[in-house]
Amino acid sequence: MKETILNKAMQAKDASRFIARASTDKKNKIILRMADYIKKKKDELIKANDVDVKNAEKKGLQRLLLIGLPSMKKEFMR
């Protein structure tokens, strides 16, 4: 799992460099594609968010830190 997280972080860093050099038009297209992907995966993302909240609560994560997670669900439901 640690390797997967490290790989994702490296991919994100590479992507950020690409996006930083991209034109405004290209950046806008990237953002629209990301929004479409999120809409398509909405149900899956909500389920994963619910699991994250439950796991965090089981581990005793302060409720204050969890406040944003359920509100994300409301945003996805729109």
Model confidence over 2-38: pLDDT tens digits? 788 899 999 999 989 989 999 999 999 999 999 999 9
Model confidence over 35-65: pLDDT tens digits? 999 999 999 988 988 888 888 888 877 665 6
Note the pTM of the prediction, 2 decimals: 0.58
| Contacting residues for 77 by C-beta, under 8 A, at least 6 apart | 46
Q: Residue 27, CB half-sphere, CA atoms under 13 Å: how many?
A: 9
Residue 73: the pLDDT is 58
- Of 15, 75, 66, nearest to 45 (Cα)? 75
Asked if pLDDT for residue 1 goes beyond 80, the answer is no
